[in-house]
Amino acid sequence: MFVLIIIGVFIAGLIAYWILHEVIQSAIDNSAMARNIQEIRDHLVGSKAEEPAVSGDDYENCPGCDFLVKKTDRVCASCGLALRDWD
Ligand SMILES: [Zn+2]
């Protein structure tokens, strides 16, 4: 009878340890996942923020000749390509 109580306590301890382990492990996984998502988000936002910095806020490269043109320009000043359709 005494042995059964000891075994019962031992099993209860194992279950408690396993639950605690699972909770801690899932918490670690969640923080790792959150960190990965944050890194991906930083990468996406960073690459988006870098893109206009290359050609300037109001400038972009002509798709035809890579000449730096204003985003408000209708045609490329270098090759005359229509950059966008206006009404
Ligand atoms: Zn051009």
pLDDT tens by residue, 12-53: 989 888 988 888 788 878 888 888 888 888 887 776 554 444
The burial of 44, by beta-carbon neighbours within 10 Å (0-12 exposed, 13-18 middle, 19 or more buried), is given as exposed
**What's the 64 CA to ligand 1 centre distance in angstroms?**
5
58 has a pLDDT exceeding 80: yes
Q: Does residue 55 surpass a pLDDT of 60?
A: no
> Does the structure show a pLDDT above 90 at 80?
yes
Separation of CA 27 and ligand 1 centre (Å)? 54
Higher pLDDT, 79 or 37: 79
**Cα of 48 to ligand 1 centre, how many Å?**
23
Q: At residue 56, does pLDDT exceed 70?
A: no
pLDDT surpasses 70 at 86: no
Q: Quote the CA–CA distance of 62 and 85 in Å, as a whole number.
A: 14
CA 60 to centroid of ligand 1, rounded, Å: 11
Q: Of all helices (H) and strands (E), which one includes residue 60?
A: strand 59-61
